[in-house]
Chains A and B, each alone.
Chain A
Amino acid sequence: MDSYNAPESTPSASSRPEDYFIGATPLQKRLESVRKHSSFIPTPPRRKIPQCSQLQEDVDPQKVAFLLHKQWTLYSLTPLYKFSYSNLKEYSRLLNAFIVAEKQKGLAVEVGEDFNIKVIFSTLLGMKGAQRDPEAFLVQILSKSQLPSENRQGKVLWTGWFCCIFGDSLLETVSEDFTCLPLFLANGAESNTAIIGTWFQKTFDCYFSPLAINAFNLSWMAAMWTACKMDHYVATTEFLWSVPCSPQSLDISFAIHPEDAKALWDSVHKTPGEVTQEEVDLFMDCLYSHFHRHFKIHLSATRLVRVSTSVASAHTDGKIKILCHKYLIGVLAYLTELAIFQIE
């Protein structure tokens, strides 16, 4: 059983006699059931519905506004060896030099105007789930403005940030030399992501891996985000399936009014404050059966590739867009979990 309690405490191990993975961490137990793609019998996995966490209130909404409404490409990242938060200025300088060198080699193509770039490392305060989580940090590539004015920052060409939200299961397993920030999000040219990735890998002996999101997890996300309480909806709730049929694939999009999606969810939802596997399955089955009733097509047999809600939208290729500041931490928590799963 996997439930996230108050930010301060670690997830408690289940003491139910039914659990047959004795000694396994809650995350491992749930991961086991995920691998089986089935309901963890007899105790189905569950997650807490994202709420406004206490810690998040410390985060300045203005400061994190730039994280919203942007499409991020997701990667999992193994722990960084001998990374230090006090060396951020040094890292900025080194990475800057590296990018310039790569550009001279002819490898860096899209880094703004020739060599007129600036690399900035900065911490993202408050971007964590539990107190134990390492501090998130941000790397940005800016184009240096022509006019040397202090206020003119120049255009942001590329952004990448590293975070860890409720990453206890990973933190427990590593020594102090390592900094665990398993979730990496990038926005900007792919070529830049590659260069920066190379530098990090060389410098901190870590490894990036693209984080795909399978249909199972997309369904969970859809259910969880639909479960979130919203004052007003900014986007329709939408699912996208890809059907492989000759001669070329067919995309089926099912958009449902967010209020109706919420009503459906509320009708399905039984356990207050939590989302269970059963509820996710039932929620999705309701959508499938509504569609089937009209079109006689079994969507469950096709491939779910994208889910969109007013909270966030996620694509199977590992792309995410977060629309709601209120549930930012909740969304990141799930993604961190997926990243950790991929690393282990």
Chain B
Amino acid sequence: MDETVAEFIKRTILKIPMNELTTILKAWDFLSENQLQTVNFRQRKESVVQHLIHLCEEKRASISDAALLDIIYMQFHQHQKVWDVFQMSKGPGEDVDLFDMKQFKNSFKKILQRALKNVTVSFRETEENAVWIRIAWGTQYTKPNQYKPTYVVYYSQTPYAFTSSSMLRRNTPLLGQALTIASKHHQIVKMDLRSRYLDSLKAIVFKQYNQTYETHNSTTPLQERSLGLDINLETKFKSGLNGSILAEREEPLRCLIKFSSPHLLEALKSLAPAALVCRIQKLLCYSGSHSQGTQDPSSWQKDLYLLFVHLYPRC
């Protein structure tokens, strides 16, 4: 086994929390049951890892096996990345072809390899007709950097792909091109949505996507729905202006803050995005209070709220 592969697998396994290790290894399905049974998972982590590497060597793990493990790790730790959303569209008059996963994967890989020569492309299909793609980027002359890959989650029955924000921005156009061509689309645009939470993003874009097919029946167009966000505050008053105000009062101020707007997300984003959301997130941790939408909690609104709260996590 290549030293770089061994090193990469080792580092990947080291990232995995102990309580998740067996689950992920089973999902990886590279080491056999028998092999795994020989491992004493109660040892110190370094020892466990050593043993596992040894087993991988026995089985001659390749870079694609390592990449697969990495994908699985990322699937378990989606929130460690910030995800962008891309929307693809067909050209006018183009037919909706039946999606062929095999053809897509081949095409996607070929496009990248033709362009860069050195690139590692790996796939892992999941339910909901989704495919996770991992791309480790290299150049004509350098080997792919396995430690800075881009992940793409493409839902083949929709025009949407979610990509982890990559530091290697120069590859984004190529990635877009590969996605578009391989999936037989005409155009790709980046949407104005970002989050660490794929589920929230999915909720939003898929609902929107279904909405376009339902507008004939729907009596309440998306825009007209007034969304709300309620936040309970129970914090002690602390004034920067005058230290004596309410200084003796032990009890907190019981407040309820409501934000509402026909376009809540956009309005809040334009107001004071990072700081605002950061505060709200912290509040939810402190007071442990729950917040609910002002209308009856349809999952759309609940997910929008989730998205909103997790939109800008870095404070």
Contact = CB atoms under 8 A, between A and B. Distances in A.
Interface of A: 236, 243, 245-257, 260, 263-264, 267-268, 282, 285-286, 289-291, 293-297
Contacts of B244: 267
Name, among B245, B255, B263, B268, the residue most crowded by chain A CB atoms within 10 Å (CB to CB).
B255
A237 B260 CA distance: 18
Interface residues of B, number: 36
8 contacts: A236-B256, A247-B263, A248-B262, A253-B257, A256-B255, A289-B241, A290-B237, A297-B276
Nearest to B294: A253
B237 A251 contact: no
Interface string B177-188: 000000000000
Interface string B237-272: 111111011100101011111111111101110111
Interface of B: 233, 235, 237-242, 244-246, 249, 251, 253-264, 266-268, 270-272, 275-276, 279-280, 283
A286 B268 contact: no
B233 A250 contact: no
Contact of A286 (B235, B239, B257, B275): B239
A254 B257 contact: yes
A250 B255 contact: no
A260 B241 contact: no
A250 B264 contact: yes
B234 to A, nearest CB: 10
Contact of A289 (B240, B249, B258, B259): B240
Contact of A245 (B237, B271, B283): B271
A221 B229 CA distance: 27
Contact of B246 (A246, A256, A257, A267): A267
A289 B246 CA distance: 13
Contacts of A282: 241-242, 245
A195 B272 CA distance: 47
Nearest to A295: B279
Contacts of B238: 293
Given A247-B266, A289-B240, A252 B253 contact: no
Nearest to B270: A245
Nearest to A240: B258
What are the 8 tightest A-B residue pairs by CB atom distance, in nearest-first order? A257-B254, A250-B267, A296-B275, A253-B258, A250-B261, A255-B256, A245-B270, A260-B253
Given A245-B267, A250-B261, A257 B255 contact: yes
Nearest to A283: B245
**Secondary structure call for the A interface:** mixed
Given A264-B237, A285-B241, A297-B276, A250 B253 contact: no
Nearest to A298: B272
Contact of B239 (A236, A289, A294, A296): A289
A42 B251 CA distance: 36
Given A247-B263, A250-B259, A250-B268, A294 B253 contact: no
Contacts of B263: 247-248
B275 to A, nearest CB: 4
Given A260-B255, A294-B235, 6 more contacts: A249-B261, A255-B257, A282-B242, A286-B237, A290-B237, A295-B275
A307 to B, nearest CB: 15
Contacts of A289: 239-241
Contact of A297 (B233, B241, B242, B271): B271
A296 B253 contact: no
Given A245-B267, A246-B266, A246-B270, A251 B276 contact: no
B263 to A, nearest CB: 5
Given A285-B241, A286-B241, A294 B261 contact: no
A301 to B, nearest CB: 11
Contacts of A290: 235, 237, 239, 253, 255
B246 A263 contact: yes
A256 B253 contact: yes
A119 to B, nearest CB: 39
Contacts of B262: 248
Contact of B260 (A251, A264, A286, A296): A251
Given A263-B249, A286-B237, A295-B280, A256 B254 contact: yes
